[in-house]
Structure 1
Amino acid sequence: MTPSLLYWLLLLGLTANHFNAVTAARILGFFPSPSKSHLIVHAAIADALANAGHDVTVIASTKNAYPNAKYKYIQINGTGFGSAMLTGMINDSAPLYRKFDGMVRAISKSANESITNPRVQRFLEEHRAGAFDLLILGYFMNEFHLGLAMHFQCPIIVSFSAQPMIAIHQLLGNPSEAAYVPTLLSNLVQRMDFFARMKNYVVTLFEEFGVVRLMRQQQQKLYDYNFPPDRYPPLDEVRKNVSLVFVNHHFSQGPIRPNVPNLIEIGGIQIKEKPDPLPADIGKVLDEAKEGVIYFSLGTNIQSTHLTEEKAKIMFNVISKLPYKVLWKWGDSDRPGQSNNIIYKDWLPQDDILAHPNIKLFITHGGMGSVVEAQYHGVPMVGIPLFGDQPSNMANVERSGYGLSVDYITLSEESLNKAIQEVLHNPKYTKTVRDFSRLYRDRPMSPRETVVYWVEYVLRHNGAKHMQSPAVHMNRWQLMSLDVIGFLLAIFGCVVAVFVKICMLLCCRRKTKTAKVTKVKVKKAKKNE
């Protein structure tokens, strides 16, 4: 055997062993959000990694979104949002800033219940440092859970189920760029005129100094309680341990903005490349409805009991008069009415339904997962946004020409019917969203391939700290260069002070000299007299 051949065989053997070590990585997915729509996104990441050969364990607060997945699944019960909170968020017409405090407290309470759950506590006792090679944390106002990475002494990746908000950008040191990048809570889209930029600037300040500060205060209390300072580093230090963030977003959806290298877009991760077969009864309805079918769902969190009787009746009166079959996701409570064209179901396989060629329209609440699936499958939308990022999502849908949005608080039969008729009968909406579907799918790697690559990249490079922005380690004053500006102003002030002092001395010297000359002249004049 020649030396060169031996060298290449050894190299191939080392490389194979190296990648086998990555393939066998022990990964924990901690997804505490009680929202099933969030879990669908987070668990898709776990599913992709398990299919790639990793040893994946998932702890989550709701029923497994992928029951046939290869990962180990641990469901913790007892966490969730109160029905009263969701009802209030939907039907209260008060501005968001007045409702946000209650929402943050409710979410924080739910997040704390997930980690103090006896089953989770036993798991943490049985699994300590070295038990996992990587932690993937589903993010939903639960930064204190980052302390789990300190418990296991491993790198951490954050998964966010929508377009990143300011708190996510701050985790990575991503620039704000409020002058041309609308924040999630502003409900604005690019391009912004002067007044839109002014609104965006004010909303950005509110989000940074109101929303994020309030959230951080809650998170600090929860972190100190669950991760005592005698055993764990401060939360500010733990935040700097984030290797990268996956976001269920894609730049083609907008807004266009600069991103640091460790913000990885995986928009559409939950969408199947090949749809699963539909239930027989639903498949029969869709296959036989050559004129088209309308799909209506307000998401996984909102149940029919959260709607007021008046709003439910408005929706039924409009839907029941449409000359199309309507698949309507509706809970177990009393239905708003019976109609031959409406098929009620308490659960429907949304992604598989939207993939069917006979779906003509999607009436949606505008959650990011729903919007993404409609965009991917090229289905036009009529949105009834309820809370959170939904108004912003639907504002972008409307601006982009993929559909129309109607306000829930002021919802009327006229406004809803007008929007539905416009999207159904104006072909521009279908054409525009189908054109975007081709654009959205055009990527070098699928979202699942992207996830597997970057997770293994982080594992190969021990947390990939080289991807981290230096901004993560700087405070606000340093990021705004206020310390540098202050130093330069101080130097400038000293230079000006010295210059003024010299000028004053020169002026004083000139005055003294002038006074002496004048005195001499006076003396001479007196002698001449």
Structure 2
Amino acid sequence: MLCNKLFFPVLVVLSLQALDYVESSRILAFFPAPVKSHLIIHTAITNALAERGHQLTVVTTVPLIKTNPRYRHILLDGCSIPKDYFSEKINEAQPFYRQFISLTEFINDCSNVTLQHPKMRKLMAEERFDLVILGYFFNELHLGLGAHFKCPVVVSFMVQPVRLINHFVGNPLEGAYVPNLLSAYEQPMNFWQRLKNFLINEAFEPIMMRLFMTNQQKAFYDYNFPPEKYPSLEEMKKNVSLVLTNHHFSQGPIRPNVPALIEIGGIQIKEKSDPLPEDIKSIMDKAKNGIVYFSFGSNIQGDVLDRSKAKIMFDVLSKLPFTILWKWGKTDLPGQAPNVIYKTWLPQDDVLAHPNVKLFVTHGGQGSVVESLYHGVPMVGVPLFGEQHANMVNVEKKGYGRMVEFTTMTEENFDRAVNDVLTDGKYRQNVQTFAKLYKDRPMSAKETAVYWVEYVLRHRGAPHMQSPAVHLNKFQLMSLDVVGFLGVIIYLVIKFIKFFVVFVYSKFVRKLKNKKE
């Protein structure tokens, strides 16, 4: 009887705590970048929050790959990547700085267009939210949404944190041993690598950002969030409560993170795969020797590739004794062969989970690499732009696959890479060993993301989690002001000692000397 009397109050208390934990909040998820691969990461977070019962409004500039009836979706038109954008970047082998200039110009214009869209203006005028989740792609001006709705901001980022992301939460760069994403270096770095890493961190990246992005973003911010009504952009950068980054320390590099930066690498990967469509399942099940899966991501269709390079890849793959499952597109096929099956779309996560997949030919995007690692599938990577080169350098150095440069690809070097990975068992062994390591976590990526977003909601932005570094400038962070102050003190002490010695010598020593004479 006593146990029953005690049990009921305890049950009530636990129930009330649970209700507080899952209290439904109004969340605006704003994902303005018209890049489908980014959307896959961001919507994995919103899907998890929707399952918890939160009321989400998801705003995007491209259609959702998979709709979710649990939340409202608003599509903003008028901001899309030009049809020939990827073709120019891939086939002309543009240097990074030229890619960056054109990219930032496009992002700046797109960022402004989204806020001026009638649907967005109506949303901002009529609704309120408890939290903003911002998909970040160098669109700083959208941090003003936190000021407009008077609520905390959570940033979702699709790769390991870069300089600007670290700056939001005061995360240290630690350039002496943490390679910049653009450098593609592995730890530990030698002297010359550390020198280049320093120059990228402290010169190249800040200058490029200042010249081609920051000033225009500030101008657009002031236009959309007038200074007489809203805090400045610099103040809003200090208002980020949490950063969720699609990365995990097991991938490297090893680095310290402040409490407000949480790693959720692999959040888009389903813990239990969905059933494959019947036609794809039949193809994969019946492939006697196995499947080679080919996809260059959600943004690259085959018809944007240089025809000669596409023909090289087709000629190599069509000769293999494997079934080639190739995500290509609707037109301009590189060739026809009995073992090559083209599809305009494939459920990549579910395909890679199939035990018959022997090799993944990929562009090396972060999402694709992570999914391949998670499912233990070795890779041949052909990086095209962005962080893909750094991703594939890491894959090759860790022994998870091989990399072939797109611009210098020949039939010989592509064939050598493909057959090396298919025939040498070390690649599959290495990647499957890592898969076990990658999955070994106290909570899944989805559970981690949900917990920390709800933590920010429960504690009204969780200001206690903010690093003091957010409020320090560069000189203060490096303690240069302290070093300068101590330098002045030491200089004055030395000057005083020198003066004192001269004074004593002139007053006493010289007098004694004169008396003796």
Work out whether the TM-score is over 0.5: yes
Q: Which residue of structure 1 lines up, in the alignment, with residue 271 of structure 2?
A: 273
Q: Which residue of structure 2 lines up, in the alignment, with residue 338 of structure 1?
A: 336
Q: Work out whether 1:84 is the aligned partner of 2:81.
A: no
Tell me the SS of whatever aligns to 1:312: helix
Please report how far the alpha carbon of residue 464 of structure 1 lies from its aligned counterpart in structure 2 after TM superposition. 0.8
Please report how far the alpha carbon of residue 356 of structure 1 lies from its aligned counterpart in structure 2 after TM superposition. 0.6
Q: 1:54 to 1:307 in 2, by over 3 A?
A: same
Q: 1:357 to 1:231 in 2, by over 3 A?
A: same
Please report how far the alpha carbon of residue 61 of structure 1 lies from its aligned counterpart in structure 2 after TM superposition. 1.2
Matches within 5 A, 1:61-460: 61-127=61-127, 131-214=128-211, 215-460=213-458
TM normalised by structure 2 equals 0.95
Which one is further off, 10-19 or 205-214? 10-19
Cα deviation per residue 1:490-525 (whole Å; 9 max; x = unaligned)? 11111111112112222333575267537xx5xxxx
Matches within 5 A, 1:1-80: 11-12=13-14, 15-16=17-18, 18-19=20-21, 22-80=22-80
Tell me the SS of whatever aligns to 1:315: helix
Which one is further off, 503-512 or 213-222? 503-512
* Amino acid across the alignment from 2:225: F
Please report how far the alpha carbon of residue 94 of structure 1 lies from its aligned counterpart in structure 2 after TM superposition. 4.0
* Amino acid across the alignment from 1:344: Y
Please report how far the alpha carbon of residue 449 of structure 1 lies from its aligned counterpart in structure 2 after TM superposition. 1.1
Cα deviation per residue 1:106-164 (whole Å; 9 max; x = unaligned)? 2222222222222211211222xxx1111100011111101001111111110011111
- Cα distance between partner residues in 2 of 1:12 and 1:360: 48
Identity %: 53
- Cα distance between partner residues in 2 of 1:294 and 1:436: 20
- Cα distance between partner residues in 1 of 2:111 and 2:345: 26
- Cα distance between partner residues in 1 of 2:434 and 2:18: 40
Please report how far the alpha carbon of residue 231 of structure 1 lies from its aligned counterpart in structure 2 after TM superposition. 1.0
TM normalised by structure 1 equals 0.93
- Cα distance between partner residues in 2 of 1:225 and 1:287: 57
Q: Which residue of structure 2 lines up, in the alignment, with residue 476 of structure 1?
A: 474
Please report how far the alpha carbon of residue 321 of structure 1 lies from its aligned counterpart in structure 2 after TM superposition. 1.8
Contact 2:141–2:221 (8 Å) recurs in 1: yes
Q: 1:160 to 1:274 in 2, by over 3 A?
A: same
Q: 1:501 to 1:137 in 2, by over 3 A?
A: same
- Cα distance between partner residues in 2 of 1:379 and 1:17: 41
- Cα distance between partner residues in 1 of 2:11 and 2:357: 55
- Which runs of 5 or more structure 1 residues have no equivalent in the other structure? 522-529
Contact 2:45–2:449 (8 Å) recurs in 1: yes
Contact 1:43–1:65 (8 Å) recurs in 2: no
RMSD between aligned residues: 2.1
- Which runs of 5 or more structure 2 residues have no equivalent in the other structure? none
Q: 1:23 to 1:284 in 2, by over 3 A?
A: same
Contact 1:81–1:110 (8 Å) recurs in 2: no
Contact 2:289–2:323 (8 Å) recurs in 1: no
Contact 2:289–2:321 (8 Å) recurs in 1: no
- Cα distance between partner residues in 2 of 1:52 and 1:388: 34
Q: 1:500 to 1:7 in 2, by over 3 A?
A: farther
